[in-house]
Structures are given as structure tokens and as C-alpha cells.
Amino acid sequence: MSQTRHVPVMLQRCLDLLAPALEAPGPQPPVVVDCTLGLGGHSEALLSAFPTARLIALDRDKEALRLSGERLAPYGDRATLVHAVYDELPEVLDRLGIPKVQGILFDLGVSSMQLDESDRGFAYARDAPLDMRMDQTTGVSAAEVLNTYPPGELVRILRAYGEEKQAKRIVSAVVREREKEPFTNSARLVELIREALPQAAMRTGGNPAKRTFQALRIEVNGELTVLERAIPAAVAALAVGGRIAVLSYQSLEDRLVKQVLAAGAANTAPPGLPVVPERYQPRLKLLTRGAELPTEEEVAENRRAAPARLRGAQRIREDER
């Protein structure tokens, strides 16, 4: 296991953002939800930093649940680990009989474990089966997407989810090659992308396969669709005074998080009212000015922190009944 797996991104800042909600006195122990458990780095820090808190942790990856279960075992019944996708948060809380929570953390994107397990096919830097499913018990693999989707749909995915300007060139090459032999492994796809792109496109933005791999991963796991449901559901699950912190790693995720939090922090009154009625008042207060970035020191220690963007908000008002 490489050491990078164990370094949670922007850890202290996440703890600081959530602390006022998890340290406030109340009739019941505070509940904090880690919607993206992964290897349990953030979860372990939450349990350690807030000794009265109860943790609910979700992950769709059964291997992540197994490994982090071992890591969090010393905390006993303070930690409840659930096999679920994070947009299932309302159902999970309902099942556990928890009406509202005090803290919620999202650490989006691919976990370090998934990047480091070479047979999962997330990383373009080494040859592996083109799988990319975060939950390997369900859904279609990246290879199936490449081999069966119509060309127009593949172009749409690469443009929408990878922001890939050369989508048509890449898809033309994929369609030509898949007719000769279906795609199974990542190295062949990486090589094809290198050959398909013009030289000018190769000189910018790191590995030329990066955007295509991101697009396939988002499609395979329905990440943006899930996130569109998950962030509003998380905001709705927060008690008044509760706080949410969200780490994103690419602009599509960050934009979506920004929109939901900004909408919650806006007053929705029609213009021109002399007094804004309660039902139009903001439900959220933003805790970060825009998106906060990791420090240079952190990026030097943990290269996977480099693209991180952190946003936080506090619930300040109930929804109108």
C-alpha cells in the first residue's frame, strides 16, 4: 500500500469547519455523516477529534468498507458503516431513526484506494482492465461503455464530463478500433488517445488521456447525477446550526456544489418587498469565501490534494412546512 493512500485531503480545515456544530452542547450526542468513507482517514479523524460524536459513514465500495471497518473498529458502536451511494443518505438516516444531523462531509471523486488498486482501471498511468466501477457488484464497466455506446453518445460524455475539446477525434478512433477488437484494457485506450490527438493538444494539461478517463468514470458511476441529488438531500438533513463541508476535485463537481450552497444562502423573495417574510430568508450561511484551496505545503506532501476545492455552509433556518 502506498503512503499516499493514508493522507486525507485538507483534513484539519475540514475538522475546523465542522467543529462548531460538533462541539455545541445538546440533549443528544452530535451525529456526523461521512458520505464518502473511502479508507476512513477523515472518519477516523472525526471520531478522534470529537469524542462525543456518533459517525455514520457511507461508501458504495465494499472493499473500502471492509478496510475502513478494520481501521475504525477501536471506536466500537460510535461508528456505523453503511454500504450505500451518498444520494441514499435520506433513506439511510430514516432506517437508523436519525431525523437530523449536526455535520456532513463529502470527499468527492475517486478514493486513493481505487487509484492505487491497479486492477480497478481508474488510473491511466498503468495498464489494467477498463472497469472503473466504484461498486464492482453492479452496473456497466468502462469497457462496456466504450464498446457499446453509439458514437454520438460517447462524444456527448467526453465533452460534458471530461470537457474534452477533441472528443470527436477520440471517438472516431475508438469506433474504428472497437470494430476490429473490443476494448478490455486501459493501455490500449491511452495509446489510441495519444495517436488521435494533434500535437498541440498533447502539450497542455498533463496526460492526454486524463479527460477521457474522467468522463468514463463519471458516466460509469453516474457521479454528477448522484451528486445533483446528494447535496440538496444533505442540506435538508442538517439540523439548524449543523454544518456541511464538501471537497471537490474537478470543476464540474465544484460548480454543482457551489450552485446548491449559493441557492441555499440566497433570499428568494420577489424584488421590491419592504420586509422579507421568513419563508424567503436564506437557509444557509456560507462558511468559505468561494472555494478554499490546499496550502502549498499540503500539495508538496500529498500530490492528490492539488486539485482540491473546499466549500462549507451552515444551516441557519428550517425549511418552511
Q: Give me 139's grid cell.
A: 452496473
The C-alpha atoms of residue 273 and residue 295 are separated, in whole angstroms, by 43
Q: Which residues are bridge partners to 244 per DSSP?
A: 104, 313
State the Cα torsion 164-165-168-171 to the nearest 10°.
-20
Which residues carry a binding-site annotation for S-adenosyl-L-methionine? 40-42, 59, 86, 107, 114
Let me know: does 69 contact 29? Beta carbons within 8 Å.
no
Burial of 285 from C-beta contacts in 10 A (0-12 / 13-18 / 19+): middle
Which residues carry a binding-site annotation? 40-42, 59, 86, 107, 114
Let me know: does 261 contact 284? Beta carbons within 8 Å.
yes
What count of other Cβ atoms lies within 10 Å of the Cβ of residue 66? 11
In angstroms, how far apart are the furthest CA atoms of the chain?
69
